Amino acid sequence: MKKVLISRVLPEAVYPLLEGLDVTRRDQTSPLSKDEMRAALGAFDGVLCTLGDQYSADVFADVAQPRCKILANFGVGYNHIDVAAAKAAGIVVTNTPGAVTDATADIAMTLMLMSARRAGEGERLVRAGKWEGWHPTQMLGLHLTGKTVGIVGMGRIGQAIARRCHFGFDMNVRYYGRSPKDLDFEAAFHSDLNALAACVDVLVTAVPGSTETRHMINAQVLGAMQPHARLINIARGDVVEEAALIDALQRGVIGGAGLDVYEFEPALPEALRALDNLVLLPHMGTSTEEVRVDMGGMAVENIQAFFRGNPLPNAV
Ligand code: NAP
């Protein structure tokens, strides 16, 4: 029987899917330490791992003859795994694309609306007992309907956000990427990110974390944005240069921002937390019961397929 380590507590509905495998549950919510990752590579045939389990090249280098042959990632983003190093060690990596798309697009819309309509500020005002009542110029925000959204990375999630903006909010959709996409709704392609940033009311990132996308949103891009525009990041923290964003928000270079992910998460600089024109969520893109069960199901499907010798549904 193949031995599989589950690196984190999963929704209960996922565990029965692991039938036929010798499963070790690590019933913790914290990431694996490097020692735990090395031990797992030596002692298990497969590991169901997730965000925060930093399978970097040195971890693979430390285990000469890994017993582990598959790292089944719970999540679509796998920038915490050095896939080239895993492959060189004879380990396949899989992920869970698709299951996360709608929920993550919904969180992007949540952040867009919260930032544009100053919902975080409003809630803080009410909770602090400082609300003095409705008046015609109270907490005026940005009206989203009919405005222009810029999507950075028009993949699965980018397109789901674009569809919500186009069909739900009658917004003009523009996007930046490596090549134009064949879409069934109107959207203008930009090959220049600064040019896109300059003409949108909301800029939303939906690219994977990678060495190419690190600090894609930097001082130059933020400087190109309009003073009322909002930046939304649901991608990976280091896609946005956090220090440049703090500076842009402090100086009013942009109107506000909404973040689900952080460059050094879960650590947030005090300067970020102090900003009122910023909405902060704790990496909640996929956090619904249904979606987390689906993600678990996909991760287990990859493991089961691998050990049964079937084609891998989601190899990366
Ligand atoms: P996807 O379908 O692969 O889409 C990614 C898009 O980014 C693709 O259109 C891709 O372009 C583009 N891209 C990649 N590298 C680029 C580069 N260097 N320059 C410009 N564009 C680039 O992935 P997805 O399912 O939409 O997920 C996107 C990311 O969202 C994930 O990798 C993950 O990090 C993040 N995410 C976050 C949460 C959360 O909880 N906040 C949840 C789920 C996912 P091509 O079409 O040319 O390949």
Quick: pLDDT tens for 150-189.
999 999 999 999 999 999 999 999 999 999 999 999 999 9
Average pLDDT on 239-264 reads: 98
Q: What would the two tokens of residue 42 be?
A: 């030596």
Query: Do residues 175 and 154 touch, judged by C-beta distance below 8 A?
Result: yes
Q: CA-CA distance, 50 to 52, in Å (whole number)? A: 6
Query: Do residues 300 and 18 touch, judged by C-beta distance below 8 A?
Result: yes
| pTM metric for this prediction | 0.97
**249 confidence band (pLDDT: 50, 70, 90):** very high
78-119 pLDDT per residue, tens: 999 999 999 999 999 999 999 999 999 999 999 999 999 999
Q: Which atom of ligand 1 is nearest to the CA of 181?
A: 46
Q: What would the two tokens of residue 183 be?
A: 């879409």
Q: Which residues line ligand 1 (CB under 6 A)?
A: 76-77, 97, 100-101, 104, 153-158, 177-179, 206-209, 212-213, 234-236, 260-261, 283, 285-286
* Side-chain-side CA neighbours of residue 277 (13 Å): 22
Query: Do residues 225 and 231 touch, judged by C-beta distance below 8 A?
Result: yes
Give the catalytic positions in this structure: 236, 265, 283
Instruction: For each of the domains in the chain, give its residue range(s) and CATH number, in order of start.
Output: 3-99+289-308 (3.40.50.720), 101-280 (3.40.50.720)
Q: CA-CA distance, 103 to 288, in Å (whole number)? A: 8
Q: Which atom of ligand 1 is nearest to the CA of 160?
A: 26
Q: Whose CA is nearest to atom 29 of ligand 1?
A: 208
**pLDDT value at position 302?**
98
